[in-house]
Structure 1
Amino acid sequence: MSSGSDLLRIENLKISFSLLGGQLDAVKDASLRVLPGKVTALVGESGSGKSVISQSVMGILPKTATATGKILFNDPETDAEPIDINSLPKDGPQIRALRGARIGKIFQEPMTSLSPLHTIGDQISETLRIHINMSKSERRDRSEEMLGLVGFPNPRRAFDMYPFELSGGMRQRAMIAMALVCKPALLIADEPTTALDVTIQAQILELLLELQSKFNMAMLLITHDLGVVANIADEVVVIYHGQIMEAGEVEPIFRRPGHPYLKGLMAAVPHFDMKPGERLKALREIPVNAGHLLGKEAASNENASDVVLTVRDIIKSYGTRKSGMFDREVSAPVRAVDGVSFDIKRGECLGLVGESGCGKTTVSKILMRAVTPDSGSVVYHGRDGEIDVLGASAERLRTLRTSIQMVFQDPVSSLSPRMTIQNILLEPLEIHQRGTPASRLETVAKLMEAIGLDKRYLNRYPHSFSGGQRQRIGIARALALGPDLLICDEPVSALDVSVQAQILNLLKDLQKDLGLTYLFISHNLAVVDYMADRIAVMCGGRIVELAPRTTLMRSPVHPYTKSLLAAVPFPDLDRPLDFAMLRSSGASDTSNWGNMFVSPDVDEPLQAKDLGDGHLVLARRNVDARELRL
């Protein structure tokens, strides 16, 4: 195919970085195309070279990078020959005229990509001021029109808002408005939905498809999520360590993947059709040896209670200041957690699922004594008796700290950059005065062996490890004291599917070898389906449905649970997302739930209805359980 029929054509692109130890080749002889009005997905793991290619197209490679090869952009609005972007001066007028006007870009993290000091409207209209000759009022009109197109219910109000006033999904919409306000021919979307909940992700994907059709725009979608690719891409390019492994139309590539790397990526994705006991096939398996760690002997203690943790009616409210930094007037408190109750049984994994802002992390902080609830009770059933978690002090609290540990969402910020891995793993042992200095070092070596990392790495710092390796170190630190219960707060949401498979398999192996109990918090139902024995679904601070995993996945009752399940994108061309159903269901919008699940009267509180076999659903008091099953 000639370059004249392609909107963007990359030929033999090589990108290398100058480092102290020599040269790093990030992209090696990459060639790909983007057709007018089509979506091309560039798929690969972190570090494969995807984002570097997008930076070269935008002409924003760092100064340490050297690029050779051709990046031909064929602007449909001009009759001129295709422009080789790679040959243009890095900050000259030609590349600046293209960047933002004819080629737009959506970045992965909207909070760090938007200026916190300027309003959304200022940032969108700035693009128009640079590229199009318009008056201030015309720029405002065009910006508000664009905000309306990307789904802001009140564009005039949104124009004057700051990024911190918006949710993650609305910030991403503002970013899309900024990228598209000049109506570019090509949109580069770099992991545009990675940081979002599945329901918000589905909304953003539908929005991108609508706008692409409206503006007849081409899109280069950079992602590691094969479910997203299956739902919106026309062509797929698979990249591994800077080399293109496979490229072509989405239909033949998904139905008959040729390269082992693509087959491996597909096998690493958790999905709802997995058989009991089936493992994810990680691209690189971790050798796990946890049999000799602390805790295995304790796990066989027959005197232990069947329930590890009992949580009853916990409530946590937050008040917000009405206006002004020094104004103490507080508005009506908002209940972040509203009467949550559940039990965690010994040896099981209880999944806690819900969208951002539903109260999942607040619950985990209450269980860890990092946040004090307004009311309610939390009882830990230890091997040496019961401990009141919220009232424990001194020695009882010290015992509790060794029994309940946490694995955090972000492996970068949860590890101190100033401590070596050895010091990080030694710290809990030293604080709780476990063993002698020599035995502590031996325990640290065993922990490294348990998570599949070489003991030689102990004197390194966290920055020298990948995201998946850092998360493994976080798991090792949580295991150091031999806990009964691990609270895992979104432990794989920041990871690629292949690394995610490694961590999930590691957690399963550790649970089996050490007799651990998990509270696994996530917004990804496919991941929770793989890990959990029972699942609690949370919305608006309340648990709306709780059931064994198979029951919840096959026969969900609550409308919110059904919406979450429908919003998970499958890497399967025969199971596309039903955008129309997702739009009508509205997920957390209670007006779409029906009369059985919403109480019209404050004096008629909702009740947890028992449908049998441990299946509970939050519904109105006067609704019969048989009606809910219909």
Structure 2
Amino acid sequence: MNPPKEVLRIEGLNVSFPVWGGAIQAVRNLSMRIRPGQVTALVGESGSGKSALGRAIMGIETDVAKISGRAVFDDPATGQSVDLIALPRDGRQIRAIRGSRIGMIFQEPMTSFSPIHTVGNQIEESLKIHTAMSPAERREASEETLSLVGFDNPARVFDMYPFELSGGMRQRAMIAMALVCRPALLIADEPTTALDVTIQAQILKLLQELQAKLGMAMLLITHDLGVVASMADEVVVVYRGEVMEAGSASDIFRNPQHPYTKGLMAAVPDFDRPREERLKPLREIKVDTVGLMGRRKSEKVLPEILLSVNHVTKSFVTKKGAGFGFGVKPERTVAVNDVSFEIRRGETLGLVGESGCGKTTLSKILMRGLSVDHGSVVYNGENGPVDVLNCEGEVLDDLRTRLQMVFQDPVSSLSPRMPVRSIIREPLDIHDRGPLAKRQEAVRRLIHAVGMPESALMRYPHSFSGGQRQRIGIARALALGPDLVICDEPVSALDVSIQAQVLNLMKDLKSELGLTYLFISHNLAVVNYMADRVAVMYAGRIVEIGPCETIMRAPVHPYTKKLLAAVPLPSLDHKLDFETIGTPTASAMKIWGKQFLDEKDSDQLTHVDLGGGHLVLARTNVDARELVAG
């Protein structure tokens, strides 16, 4: 039997959703193909219809959606050809295909798993539906698939609940759930968007290996052109539900023709672009800070160091085991371990590291959201130094106006019950900044400052896109005229063009208002664009700190090198090297010691000064020249 030329052939697909007074056309007359054993990437901004296409193929789109066109699935195993769109959505035939011959990985694994069933119970569900295996055989097949996706102890994971797994482990478990029946086609809808770069690299490597091992085709739905460059054989670029450009990965990356494709590529920060060169989003934001409340220039000569963090340590104590806490020995986890650094007035300090390294815990400490075991934080304001961790009363009230925060998730950080006007005005109300009329005028100026119309003030957060919600969060953070804004992963949930908008906006506001940023991220390409200096955090410690140019071009610590190697770039000449990611060299193991790299803890480490403000954490007896050479 000859294999089909296409596993899936989509012809003139339309997906629309009825709304008051009309309909939203999510997918418009879209045609594309997916070949056996190849990865076809579907690329576009949020709202371009990518996920609607995936759901339509699987027959899981909402009942109110109107779907027309053809999606012909040619099963390589049986040779049978069927139009998926023509099948009843809950019919026997589509159910036999869905989950068995076509698998799907969703963007957010936590919302895709049932919290009340074990991981194994949910993985073996497909085997219950599609096979005649016994319970023992289903468990064996499920554990084999868990092992295939990289779990060392699949029997233990089988009996765990989803909340017991990290984000990366949950994504692996979801991949196992999609692959347990060995499908001919896998639809991966933004499979790595919520993951940090090193975990993302692991998942991409895993998908690549599984695709080769199982010989399946893959539809990779993503907005990340770096991921596409490292994974795809063919690329389809969509905008507002229509195909703008399609071709091989080589054609799209080396010789893009459509202005939209070129625009997407110009919006991505990368290491080849000069750091001072501005990103080019598809739609630019105009910044208007004229008369912005809180904009001020002090006549005093202020200290160069705005914030000084000295030997801060924070640990959490958990109890493991059963029995109402009696006889259970507490377990101490050190989240932030003897951290010291300084933030200079008017600079952007980038703080980078994987999820769980202590970045957000540190930001909460700086904002007085968490106490510390020991250490100190000093803020040098216009009225002299302030002990951030111990100040009270009026000093604390004033400090809270000087330090503000922009959060990672713009949805959960904005109250759904408040209009935008009240959200932005709330800090002014709390700190009693002038009469009501003055506060309302300040709110109008703030919304203009982040490039949004005044009409947005009457609406609620749910009616905005992710990028617009993040701009509302930035406006709220600027309301009190802060000196330091802590930005905790402010663009990690945004697609590339919206990300470029927000990054440019933050740079413009910094220049116009004289702000200082602590910019927390796991993406070094973004930090390379934003930061003046960079601190790299691993296992609760700052392992390397220095000027941005030095960290990005001449890193010394193996963990910094690992982070840099895991950043997917939108270039076929700089694909991810899946063979070397995450593997320290023998010389690195010798210099830093196996204990530190494996157990993340050692008392024999200190910061070695390499000159020019470049410090690296290493063993006390290591010569700096050996570090640089290593």
Cα separation, 2, equivalents of 1:629 and 1:210: 35
Cα separation, 1, equivalents of 2:16 and 2:461: 25
**Does structure 1 residue 598 correspond to structure 2 residue 614?**
no
Query: 1:292 Cα shift?
Result: 2.5
**Does structure 1 residue 575 correspond to structure 2 residue 570?**
no
2:270 maps to what in 1? 271
**Structure 1 residues 325 and 28: CA distance shift in structure 2, 3 A:** farther
Query: 1:600 Cα shift?
Result: 5.3
**What are the ranges of 5 or more consecutive residues in structure 2 without an aligned counterpart?**
none
Q: Secondary structure at 2:69's aligned position in 1?
A: strand
**Structure 1 residues 87 and 323: CA distance shift in structure 2, 3 A:** same
| Aligned Cα root-mean-square deviation (Å) | 1.6
Cα separation, 1, equivalents of 2:270 and 2:291: 32
Q: Secondary structure at 2:423's aligned position in 1?
A: helix
**Does structure 1 residue 28 correspond to structure 2 residue 25?**
no
Q: Secondary structure at 1:527's aligned position in 2?
A: helix
1:190 maps to what in 2? 189
**Structure 1 residues 413 and 603: CA distance shift in structure 2, 3 A:** closer
**Structure 1 residues 260 and 372: CA distance shift in structure 2, 3 A:** same
1:213 maps to what in 2? 212
Select 1:319's aligned residue among 311, 317, 320: 317
Cα separation, 1, equivalents of 2:294 and 2:531: 21
2:59 maps to what in 1? 59
> Following superposition, which runs of at least 4 residues in structure 1 exceed 3 angstroms of deviation?
598-604
If the length of structure 2 is used for normalisation, what is the TM-score? Answer: 0.97
**Does structure 1 residue 246 correspond to structure 2 residue 245?**
yes
Cα separation, 2, equivalents of 1:421 and 1:374: 38
Q: Secondary structure at 2:236's aligned position in 1?
A: strand
1:465-514 deviation line (CA, Å, top 9, x unaligned): 11100100000000000000000000000000000000000000000000
Residue type of the alignment partner of 1:32: M
1:57-92 deviation line (CA, Å, top 9, x unaligned): 000010110101001001112233x20111111101
Q: Secondary structure at 1:428's aligned position in 2?
A: helix
Q: Secondary structure at 2:572's aligned position in 1?
A: coil
Query: Aligned ranges for residues 399-548 of structure 1 at < 5 Å?
Result: 399-548=398-547
**Structure 1 residues 5 and 604: CA distance shift in structure 2, 3 A:** closer
**Does structure 1 residue 68 correspond to structure 2 residue 68?**
yes
Cα separation, 1, equivalents of 2:376 and 2:344: 17
Residue type of the alignment partner of 1:273: D
Query: 1:162 Cα shift?
Result: 1.2
Query: 1:115 Cα shift?
Result: 1.3
Query: 1:596 Cα shift?
Result: 2.0
* Deviates further, 515-524 or 425-434: 425-434
1:426-477 deviation line (CA, Å, top 9, x unaligned): 1111111111111111111110110001112211111111110010000000
> Does the 8 Å contact 2:4/2:79 carry over to 1?
no
Cα separation, 1, equivalents of 2:331 and 2:426: 42
Cα separation, 2, equivalents of 1:79 and 1:191: 29
1:552 maps to what in 2? 551
Cα separation, 2, equivalents of 1:583 and 1:513: 40
> Does the 8 Å contact 1:379/1:388 carry over to 2?
yes
> Does the 8 Å contact 1:119/1:161 carry over to 2?
yes
> Does the 8 Å contact 2:276/2:529 carry over to 1?
no
> Does the 8 Å contact 2:319/2:331 carry over to 1?
no
Q: Secondary structure at 2:573's aligned position in 1?
A: coil
Cα separation, 2, equivalents of 1:37 and 1:134: 28
Cα separation, 2, equivalents of 1:463 and 1:232: 34
Give the share of equivalent positions with the same residue, in percent.
Answer: 63
Query: 1:599 Cα shift?
Result: 7.6
Residue type of the alignment partner of 2:505: L
Query: 1:105 Cα shift?
Result: 0.3
**Does structure 1 residue 42 correspond to structure 2 residue 37?**
no
Residue type of the alignment partner of 1:486: V
* Deviates further, 483-492 or 164-173: 164-173
* Deviates further, 157-166 or 182-191: 157-166
> Does the 8 Å contact 1:604/1:620 carry over to 2?
no
Query: 1:592 Cα shift?
Result: 8.8
> Does the 8 Å contact 1:18/1:64 carry over to 2?
yes
Cα separation, 1, equivalents of 2:534 and 2:358: 15
Cα separation, 2, equivalents of 1:347 and 1:398: 23
Cα separation, 2, equivalents of 1:181 and 1:337: 39
Query: 1:331 Cα shift?
Result: 2.8
**Structure 1 residues 234 and 599: CA distance shift in structure 2, 3 A:** closer
If the length of structure 1 is used for normalisation, what is the TM-score? Answer: 0.97
Query: 1:330 Cα shift?
Result: 4.2
2:151 maps to what in 1? 152
Q: Secondary structure at 1:574's aligned position in 2?
A: helix
Residue type of the alignment partner of 1:17: F
**Does structure 1 residue 369 correspond to structure 2 residue 368?**
yes
1:133-162 deviation line (CA, Å, top 9, x unaligned): 101111111111111110001111111111
> Does the 8 Å contact 2:72/2:82 carry over to 1?
yes
Query: Aligned ranges for residues 115-154 of structure 1 at < 5 Å?
Result: 115-154=114-153
Cα separation, 1, equivalents of 2:587 and 2:365: 31
1:83 maps to what in 2? 82
Residue type of the alignment partner of 1:346: R
> Does the 8 Å contact 1:380/1:386 carry over to 2?
yes
Q: Secondary structure at 1:584's aligned position in 2?
A: coil
Residue type of the alignment partner of 1:370: G
Cα separation, 1, equivalents of 2:272 and 2:251: 22
> Does the 8 Å contact 2:15/2:25 carry over to 1?
yes
**Structure 1 residues 603 and 70: CA distance shift in structure 2, 3 A:** closer
**Structure 1 residues 564 and 619: CA distance shift in structure 2, 3 A:** same
Cα separation, 2, equivalents of 1:557 and 1:325: 48
Residue type of the alignment partner of 1:319: V
Cα separation, 1, equivalents of 2:607 and 2:351: 16
Aligned length: 623
